[in-house]
Amino acid sequence: MKKKLLFCLVLLFSAVMLFAGGSSEADSTVVKIGVFEPASGDNGAGGKQETLGIQYANYLTPTVMVGDTEYTVELVVADNESSNDRAATAAATLVNADVSVALGSYGSGVSIAGSDTFRIAGVPIVGITCTNPQVTEGNTHYFRICYLDPFQGTVLANYAYDTLGARKVYCLAKLGDDYSGGLVNYFIERFTSLGGEVVSETFPDGNSDFTSYIANAKNSGCEVFFSPVSTEAAQLIINQAQSQGLGMPILAGDTWDSNVILQAAKGTDVDVTVTTFYPEGADPEFDEGFKSWVNSDSARLSNNGGDDTVAAVTAMGFDAYYFVLQAIQNAASIDPADVMEALWGTEIDGVTGHIALEQVNGDAIRNTVYVKHANTETGGWDALPAVVVD
C-alpha cells in the first residue's frame, strides 16, 4: 500500500513538474545576461563580491539600446558552487534561460569546466577575474577582461626577488585547483630564472590544518610564503601563521584582495602583500556610489563580507557589465552569435582602466598590476606602488 502511495506521489509530482518546468514567459524587449559565479564553496565569498559589482552596474544602468529599441537587462544568476563538476550544470541553466552573453567566473577551474557548454550553445562569455591562460586559449567564445597568470606570476616573482629580497620562497597551492596551481607554476618559472630557490607543496581539498605546512616553510629556511589560494584557505593560513609564529611575509595573488583577509589579519602581526586589479580609492566616484548602495541593504552588506570595503573583483564585475553592454550596443542585436562577433572589437574605459582585447584569444591587454599591503591595525589596505610592465 505504502509503495503504491509513493508511486502515485512520484507520478503526480513528475507530471506537475513537467508542466512547471516548461512554462516561461518571453518578453520581447528584455535582454538576458547570465552571471556564472560561485555563491557557495571555496570561492563563494569572492564570487558574491564579483556578482555585487555586476548588480551595482545593473542598478545604475538597467537598460541598453539595441539598434533603436531600448531593452531592459535582466541578470540571470546561476551558482557554480566553486566546483568543477557543478560548473557544466550551472552553465547549462544559463544557456537554457536564453542568455545573450554570460559573465564569469571568479575562479579559473570552473571557467574551464563550464566553457564547453557555452561553446556548444554558441553563447559568448566574458571572464572577469579568471586569470589562468587555459580559459581562453584555443577557443573563440571565451573572452576575458583581466590580466593573466604568466603576467601576474612574473610580477609577483620579481616583487619577491627584488623588493622583498628573498632568495628562497615557499609556494603552497591547492591540489587540483587551476588557479593556484597555475599561478604558482608561473611564479616558480620566473623566480628560478632569476636565480632564486623554491620549495613547493600542495594541500588536498578539505584540508584545514596548515600548521605542518607552516612548519615546513620555517624549517626549510624560506624567506617568503607564497600561497595564492582561495580566501577560505587563506583565512586559516593567516590564523595559523599567527599562532605558529610564521615570521616571514606572505605573498599572494588577486584572490586575497578581499575583506576576508583583512578581517583575519586585523590585530595580528602577519605581513600580507597581494597583487590585484584595482586599488580602492582609484575612482572615488565609483567607490562612494558602491558603498552607499551596499550600505542601503543588509543582504548586500552580508554578501560583501559584512563591511563596505570595495574589493577589486567588485570593480572588475562592474566593468565587465559595461563591457558586454557596449558589445550588445555595438552588435545592435541580442543574438549570442552577433554579440560574440562584436565582443572582439569592443573597448571601454572602465574604473579599472582601459579595456580592449587582443585578437588571438580574446584576452584583455593589461599592463598594470596593483600591489596592496594589509594594514593589521586599521584592517584596511595600504596601496603600494603599482607595477607597470611595458
Q: Which residues of 190-225 are buried (b: 16+ CB within 10 A; e: fewer)?
A: bbeeeebebeebbbeeeeeebeebbeebbeeebbbb
Residue 88 lies near another protein (rule: CB under 8 A): yes
Site string for another protein, 343-382 (x = CB under 8 A): ----------------------------------------
Which of 55, 131, 227, 235 contacts another protein by CB under 8 A?
A: 235
Site string for another protein, 30-49 (x = CB under 8 A): ---------xxx--xx--x-
Site string for another protein, 264-283 (x = CB under 8 A): x-------------------
Question: Are 173 and 165 spatial neighbours (Cβ–Cβ below 8 Å)?
Answer: no
Window 5-34: residues binding another protein (CB under 8 A)? 6-8, 10, 13-14, 16-17, 20-21
Distances (CA, A) of 180 to 48, 133, 177, 253, 267: 20, 12, 6, 9, 27
Q: d(Cα 204, Cα 41) in Å, to the nearest integer?
A: 15
Residue 96 lies near another protein (rule: CB under 8 A): yes
Which of 216, 333, 361, 368 contacts another protein by CB under 8 A?
A: 216
Which of 60, 63, 137, 333 contacts another protein by CB under 8 A?
A: 137
Residue 322 lies near another protein (rule: CB under 8 A): no
Q: d(Cα 125, Cα 115) in Å, to the nearest integer?
A: 8
With respect to another protein, which residue has the nearer C-beta, 279 or 336?
336
Window 143-172: residues binding another protein (CB under 8 A)? none
Q: d(Cα 47, Cα 377) in Å, to the nearest integer?
A: 27
Residue 192 lies near another protein (rule: CB under 8 A): no
Which of 49, 55, 105, 117 contacts another protein by CB under 8 A?
A: 117
> Which residue(s) pair with 72 in the sheet?
30, 63
Q: d(Cα 222, Cα 219) in Å, to the nearest integer?
A: 8
The amino acid that residue 258 corresponds to is: S
C-beta of 366: minimal distance to another protein in Å? 21
Residue showing cell 509530482: 13
Residue 84 lies near another protein (rule: CB under 8 A): yes
